[in-house]
Amino acid sequence: MSASSPLPLGLPPAASVDPGAFARDRAAVFARAWLCLGASAEWPVAGAAAAREQGGRSIVALRHTDGGLRAFANVCPHRAGPLLWPGEERPAGQGLRCRYHGWRFDQDGALVGTPDFDGQRVGASALAAGCRLSPLPTAEAAGLVWVWLGPGAPDRPAPSAAGPLAGALGALGLDHWRPRARASHPLACDWKVYVENYLEGYHIPYLHPGLGREIDMGGYAVEVDGDTVRHVVPTRPGAVNEGLWLWVWPNLAINVYGGACSIERMLPTGPGAARIDYVYLADDSVSDHAFAEMLRASATTTAEDVRIVEQVQRGLQDPAAAAGPLSPRHEAGLAHFHALLRAAWAGG
Ligand code: FES
Ligand SMILES: [Fe+2]
């Protein structure tokens, strides 16, 4: 941008506080993008299953005996009970059994059991045609699992091993790391407020004293590329953080530590409500002590961010709130996020 160009402005506050914002984003953003469910390593063997949140929906995914992944809405066709409880993981097994009345489904989502439904008169086979689990398109690339929520078929290519994202992640070696911890943090703010906060390091000196001591703000760089924003910053000796943060449209981030990373999903859960779900992966060579240090640093930074984003959500509801100017040096990632949002809202 030249010195005479007008500065980009933030989103109007209404975009994050209007009662209809959640429904609009669910339809325009989350039904029209490939969304990350987690790391492939979270489904290590055939029969492994887990319930995950994405785009305001609960999704159950399981590893098929053919080696691929299957995902379904975590909603039983009987009376909308869950196949797995929210966040529940099953290391191995066969098919899925509804937690409500015990209907059973095979690994392709077909109904195969309806215990005590009507004596022997109406069995699963009589109901099967109208009572399947709702399948969702999935993809696996760069060590991550992706899902398309629809309603239509995917209208853009799934992340692939040949794509730019895979290139960015390939160097990390995610495929060889295994999940070692998980954490979840509810947020009293719109998901976009949290994403905006993630997309700039401008606030680090004021909100994150521990992280601030690890990095050299003078070398902070923001790189915008397609559906991704990368933050690269030099670190000081002994830093737990590697100074590399990668965000992927619309709500995924990868935070890199030495030999480890967290996969951070910024989930809309309702109007003015969101949640961060982390899964922490590490190389086996990372010691328990080093891993615990990483968890501690992550928890501290997250608590500091939660505090500010919840206060910003309150600020956005104040009549004084306005769309202020964005820093060309530090907030280019926000301007890019907003451009992607506007395109999505316009149906692009
Ligand atoms: S809701 Fe699933 S068996 Fe009744
Ligand atoms: Fe932060």
Task: Report the alpha-carbon distance of residue 255 to residue 183 in Å, rounded.
Answer: 14
- What does the pLDDT look like over 21-38, one tens digit per residue? 999 999 999 999 999 999
Distance 308 CA to ligand 2 centre (A): 9
Assess whether the C-beta atom of 113 lies below 6 angstroms from ligand 1: no
- What does the pLDDT look like over 214-253, one tens digit per residue? 999 999 999 998 899 999 999 999 888 888 899 999 999 9
Distance 86 CA to ligand 2 centre (A): 27
pLDDT of residue 36: 97
- Mean pLDDT of the region 274-295: 95
Ligand 1 nearest atom to the CA of residue 81, by list position: 1
pLDDT of residue 122: 84
User: If pLDDT is split at 50, 70 and 90, which confidence band does 80 have?
Assistant: very high
Strand partners, 253: 247, 264
Assess whether the C-beta atom of 105 lies below 6 angstroms from ligand 1: no
User: If pLDDT is split at 50, 70 and 90, which confidence band does 1 have?
Assistant: very low
Q: What are phi and psi of 107, to 5 degrees?
A: -70, -10
pLDDT of residue 26: 96
Distance 100 CA to ligand 1 centre (A): 5
Ligand 1 nearest atom to the CA of residue 114, by list position: 3
Structural element, H or E, at residue 341: helix 332-345
User: If pLDDT is split at 50, 70 and 90, which confidence band does 164 have?
Assistant: low
Assess whether the C-beta atom of 234 lies below 6 angstroms from ligand 1: no
- Give domain limits for the chain: 34-148, 171-345
Amino acid 210 reads: G
The answer to whether 34-148 and 171-345 have equal CATH topology is no
Assess whether the C-beta atom of 98 lies below 6 angstroms from ligand 1: yes
Task: Report the alpha-carbon distance of residue 233 to residue 257 in Å, rounded.
Answer: 13
Distance 104 CA to ligand 1 centre (A): 9
Task: Report the alpha-carbon distance of residue 205 to residue 74 in Å, rounded.
Answer: 42
Angle between helices 191-198 and 288-316 (to 10 degrees): 120
- Ion ligand 2 residue ranges (Cβ < 5 Å): 305
Assess whether the C-beta atom of 104 lies below 6 angstroms from ligand 1: no
Angle between helices 191-198 and 332-345 (to 10 degrees): 150
How much is the mean pLDDT over the chain?
93
Assess whether the C-beta atom of 337 lies below 6 angstroms from ligand 1: no
In the block, tokens 């987690």 appear at 38
pLDDT of residue 316: 98
DSSP 29: I
Ligand 1 nearest atom to the CA of residue 103, by list position: 3
Closest CA to 220 of 200, 237, 238: 200
Whether residue 126 is predicted with pLDDT greater than 60 in this model: the reply is yes
Whether residue 39 is predicted with pLDDT greater than 60 in this model: the reply is yes
Which residues lie closer than 8 Å to 119 by C-beta, 6 or more apart? none
Whether residue 291 is predicted with pLDDT greater than 90 in this model: the reply is yes
Whether residue 335 is predicted with pLDDT greater than 70 in this model: the reply is yes
Which residues lie closer than 8 Å to 158 by C-beta, 6 or more apart? 34, 137, 139, 141, 146, 148
Ligand 1 nearest atom to the CA of residue 76, by list position: 2
Architecture of domain 171-345: Alpha-Beta Complex (3.90)
- Mean pLDDT of the region 156-178: 76
Assess whether the C-beta atom of 176 lies below 6 angstroms from ligand 1: no
Task: Report the alpha-carbon distance of residue 59 to residue 46 in Å, rounded.
Answer: 18
pLDDT of residue 206: 97
Q: Which ligand is nearest to the CA of 133?
A: 1
Whether residue 213 is predicted with pLDDT greater than 90 in this model: the reply is yes
Ligand 1 nearest atom to the CA of residue 83, by list position: 2
pLDDT of residue 236: 92
State the virtual CA torsion across 223, 193, 182, 81 in degrees, nearest 10: -130
Amino acid 63 reads: R
Is 73:178 a contact under the CB 8 Å cutoff?
no
CATH of the structural domain 34-148, one choice from 2.102.10.10, 3.30.1220.10, 3.40.50.150, 3.40.50.11810:
2.102.10.10
**Which of 100, 112, 134 should be mutated for ligand 1, with most atoms under 8 A from CB?**
100
**Residue nearest ligand 1's atom 4 by CA:** 101
3 state DSSP class of 338: helix
- Mean pLDDT of the region 69-95: 96
In the block, tokens 């439904």 appear at 117
Ligand 1 nearest atom to the CA of residue 80, by list position: 1
